[in-house]
Amino acid sequence: MTTHEVAAQLDRDDPLAAARKAFLLPPDTVYLDGNSLGALPASVPERVRRVVAEQWGEHLIGAWYEDGWWDAPLRVGDRLGRLLGAAPGQTVAGDSTSVQLFNALTAAARLRPGRDILLMDDAGFPTDRYLAASVARMLGLELREAPVSGFEEALADCGERLAVVTASAVDFRTGELWDLARLTAATHREGGVVVWDVSHAVGAVPLAVDRDGVDFAVGCGYKFLSGGPGAPAFGYAARRHHDHLDQPLTGWNGHTDPFAMTPDYRPAEGIARCRIGTPAILSLLALDAALDVFDGVDLRQLRRKSLSLSRFFIACVDEHLAGRGFELVTPRRDERRGSQLTLGHPEAARLMAALVERGITGDVRPPNLLRFGLNGLYVSHADVLTTVLALRSLT
């Protein structure tokens, strides 16, 4: 079969093909940047309209209880927890990924008094690296960096000084997926606590944070979760740590009796102590509406779809782009890929600008990387082929 015939067959056999209708995508658009900002779910505009016009507009301050605003961080947190493989009562939604990561890193380090090494990915997302460095300075820790591929050796070198290990579950540049279970277990063998940033994995890769013994996880709501620009983030803390969590940001929403307005801080029970300030309700409830697209979706099936898309992408690159200056950066092995395909090319910026002019959206990361997000809920194999053939015509 020709590549076009293969794409058509794969899309005909796609059990998630109907999911595309749950998103408001512009016609004649190939959107492969959902790993940066997810497409708009069709349920969000009307839900937000009702929150503004009916809940805020009619119920005013009463909406905090009449419409469940006060409990939304925990309610939405549990919905997110299902995508993390977390039992209820361990995930809270709100604030930004930066805030969640700062709190998690600090709380994790405080669980290991007397240990003074914070180990992080040497190619991690810049904000994660900035925050890890800040936490290390604040707590007097030694910040060490190593490639995730070399974490197990680096962990052994830290020995009994190891306090915290942090990295992203999926490399934001290359799309490489790491073995969270193995690296978490390796961290625990050395007595450390692990904090995973799952921003580029949640909603695209089945996660099992409870099963894998993960201590903390944080992530954003606006990539594969399609919660909208600047959507609230979330934090997961394993139940076994709740009674000992000592966070640096102790806002009034995390107080055991927030309306008592006492001068001293007393943390709430369970994951509620990980709440901080007043939640951004409009954004939080937009994220809640966006999560409806996952109702009834088997994440294993979604994973099979994204792997099918990336396998087909790689096959098309091999067939149509050989000898044109492209380098496949994302690993070829299925188990090593997230839901992103990255190509290297010396003219990456020019090529992406030309793709965008043709209605094909991906993005660029320095120095020469073309990134394509493969959200199995709305990306098709035909989209992939269209993108590769456009790249061929541009080179």
Q: Catalytic residue numbers?
A: 125, 197, 222-223, 371
Question: Quick one: CA torsion of 99, 101, 103, 105, rounded to 10 degrees?
Answer: -150
Q: How far is CA 96 from CA 18, 198, 284, in A?
A: 32, 13, 11
- For residue 234, the Cα-to-chain-centroid distance in whole angstroms is 10
Angular region, 314: left φ>0, alpha ψ -120 to 50, beta rest: alpha
* φ, ψ (nearest 5 deg) of residue 368: -155, 35
Residue 45's contacts (CB-CB under 8 Å, 6 or more residues apart) are 24
Q: Is the dihedral of CA 374, 379, 385, 390 positive or negative?
A: negative
Question: Could you tell me how far CA 347 lies from the centroid of its own chain?
Answer: 28
SS3 30: strand
